Structures are given as C-alpha cells and as structure tokens.
Amino acid sequence: MPTGKYRENHGMTGTRIHNIWRGIKVRCYNPNSKSYSHYGGRGIKMSSEWYKSFLSFNEWSMKNGYDDLLTIDRIDVDGDYCASNCRWVDMKSQQNNRSNNRLITFNGITCTEAEWAEKIGVSKRALNARLVRYKWSIERALTQPQRKKVGGHYV
C-alpha cells in the first residue's frame, strides 16, 4: 500500500468509526500487531480506496448500515476489507462467520454448531457434547429433544 504523507482533515480522529478503520489498517499492515498473523500475515488487505481515505471508508459505512452497535464483518473470511466483501453486523452474526466455526450439514442445510443449537432449542454446549463426547450421529444430535430438568432430575 502507498505510504504517502497526505493527511485528511476530517475532524473524526478518535471516533468509534475512525478507530475501526485504524484497527483494520493495523491488523492488515503492522507485523507488530498481535492480530497481524490472522489478517495481514494471511494476505488479507484493505482496498486501496479505503486505505488511502478514511472519508471513503466512512462514506461507504454510512451508506451500508453502520451503527454504533454493529461491527464490521468480512463476508468471505479469507477475503480483503473492501466494499464488496464487508458489511455491518451484530456480534452474533460476526461470531457465526468465523473461520474456526464448526459447520454442520443436515438435510441439505449447512449452519454453524451455534446456529443449529438455536434452531433445535438446545444449548451449544449440549449439542457439542452430543457430537464430540457422546459421538452421536448428526441426525440423532439434531433431532433428539433436550431432556427437561424437573425437580433436579432430567425427564
């Protein structure tokens, strides 16, 4: 990326959105960042338009759903930070789009373990135990109802 000395005068230094923009640059381009190995070290970059101009990033953000309660998410977790690969989402959506999520396909539908747990009404911990500890089949793990605790006992 170009490292020219041009500085924008936008008056937004220190705002949440400016800090997000700076954080992306650090993750992608600073080898001393603790997150660099997961981003820049894997070849993930920031579009040159955003890299060169916070105002460009800010304009895209405001037109694409930025809110103080949302976080920036790369749709393709192996892709770059750019307008066609980014979106503003809540933390639940962000967590379901991680590269280390366990994906489970059942009846032609693929979801993360957490998404399946929510769909079938069991805790993520219970679903994980069914699959890993008890070695249930995916079908059994996703179709057997969770036992109810009544008076300290499961029924």
Per-block mean pLDDT, blocks of 10 residues, the chain (155 long): 63 96 98 96 98 98 97 93 96 76 89 87 89 93 80 50
User: Helices H, strands E: what count in the chain?
Assistant: 7, 6
Q: Are 104 and 112 in contact (CB under 8 A)?
A: yes
Residue type, 121: G
Q: Are 58 and 12 in contact (CB under 8 A)?
A: yes
- Could you tell me where the beta strands, DSSP code E, fall in 17-141? 71-74, 86-89, 103-106, 109-112
Per-domain residue ranges for the chain? 16-95, 103-148
The two three-digit tokens of residue 51, written as one number: 């890299």
According to the model, what pLDDT value does residue 155 have?
33
Q: What angle do CA 114, 61, 50 make, to 5 degrees?
A: 105
